[in-house]
């Protein structure tokens, strides 16, 4: 119970909503586009960059981005939703941006990686501070949460 309360707890200001909206909307959009444009952004891209089992991994990553992006927008289980997105961005940077660094240098990589780094740091920020006051997470209070879990579990 206490660990769940700690995961959901947030003392962050309401303005964290702005970060949640940016991070969540971009992940949601990217996840959807993996299905709408599979050759360019889904399976085809995963094959091109050498991701193993691309036919499985591209849809899996798309679903993770859709689900976790939506959770972040809502401010529901925000810290938990940030974890797979951090992993997603670390894989994306290592698979797509490090080769650019090696081939074209620092400035070419920095240009191509700007959104990736913003998404990585935004996700890390949400993992650290939580969803903020304007979130579903902030509506959970310790005593009502414990009562609901005892009643339902």
* pLDDT above 50 (res 47): yes
Distances (CA, A) of 128 to 10, 21, 80, 99: 9, 16, 11, 30
**Domain residue ranges of the chain, discontinuous segments joined by +:** 2-147
Quick check: 68 and 85 in contact, CB under 8 A?
yes
Mean pLDDT (whole number) for 29-54: 97
DSSP per-residue codes, 71-122: HHHHTSSHHHHHHHHHHHHHHHIIIIIHHHHHHH-HHHHHHHHHHHHHHHHH
Task: Report the first-to-last Cα separation within the chain, whole angstroms.
Answer: 11
Mean pLDDT (whole number) for 22-41: 98
**Span 63-77, pLDDT tens digits:** 999 999 999 999 999
DSSP state of 10: -
DSSP state of 141: -
pLDDT at 144: 54
Pairwise pLDDT comparison (138 vs 150), residue with the higher score: 138
Other CB atoms within a 10 A radius of the CB of residue 12 amount to 23
């Amino acid at each position: 119970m206490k660990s769940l309360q700690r995961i959901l707890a947030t003392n962050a200001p309401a303005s964290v909503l702005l970060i949640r909206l940016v991070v969540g909307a971009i992940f949601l959009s990217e996840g959807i586009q993996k299905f709408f444009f599979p050759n360019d952004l889904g399976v085809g891209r995963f094959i091109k960059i050498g991701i193993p089992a691309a036919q499985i991994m591209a849809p899996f990553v798309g679903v993770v981005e859709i689900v976790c992006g939506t959770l972040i927008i809502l401010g529901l289980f925000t810290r938990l939703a940030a974890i797979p997105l951090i992993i997603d961005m670390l894989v994306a940077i290592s698979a797509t941006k490090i080769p650019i660094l090696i081939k074209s240098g620092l400035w070419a990589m920095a240009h191509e990686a700007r959104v990736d780094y913003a998404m990585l740091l935004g996700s890390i920020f949400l993992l650290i501070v939580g969803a903020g006051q304007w979130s579903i997470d902030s509506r959970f209070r310790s005593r009502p949460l414990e009562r609901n879990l005892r009643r339902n579990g």
